Amino acid sequence: MKLRILAITLITICNYGCNKYGDKEGFTEFIDSYYIKYESGDYDSIVNLGDSDFNKTTTKREYIEYINNINNELGKHKSHSLTSWQILREVYGNPRTIFLARYKVIYEKGESSEEFTLIKSDGKIKIRKYRSNRQ
């Protein structure tokens, strides 16, 4: 009996861990595509990556203005690397996965620490929050 409980516990932990890292890859690929759109100046597509709450708090014009301010201050995006991340799962009500990520971003004229809050619901990933801490 104890062996059976131990086996079930280990399988559950393994499944959680495997799914957690699988989600991480999906989220980081999403952010990579964000930066590809950013580099190409496709800001309209970036705005469309936001979820309904993101679009309620930030208008398209405000977000594009924010991105242009970063470009004017720091220049073109050169590279980005994930520095920290966390995955949270909400299972009650509207099940979803939340990905909190911080990236070190190198621009032509400086660096930025950029934070994303992404929501995965119904298989779709959307941006909930974005913040750039320019240095």
What are the pLDDT digits (tens) for 48-82? Answer: 899 888 888 888 899 999 999 999 999 999 999 99
Residue linked to tokens 């099940």 = 95
For residue 55, the model assigns a pLDDT of 81
Low-confidence ranges of the chain (pLDDT < 50): 5-21
Q: Give the CA diameter of the chain.
A: 65
Domain span holding position 25: 2-134
Could you tell me the CATH number of the domain that includes residue 89? 3.10.450.100
For residue 22, the model assigns a pLDDT of 59
For residue 87, the model assigns a pLDDT of 93
| CA dihedral of residues 53, 90, 100, 52 (deg, nearest 10) | -10
For residue 4, the model assigns a pLDDT of 52
pTM score:
0.79
> Tokens at residue 44, please?
């309209």
For residue 9, the model assigns a pLDDT of 44
Q: What domain count does the chain have?
A: 1
Distance CA 16, CA 24 (A): 12
CB 39 within 8 A of CB 77: yes
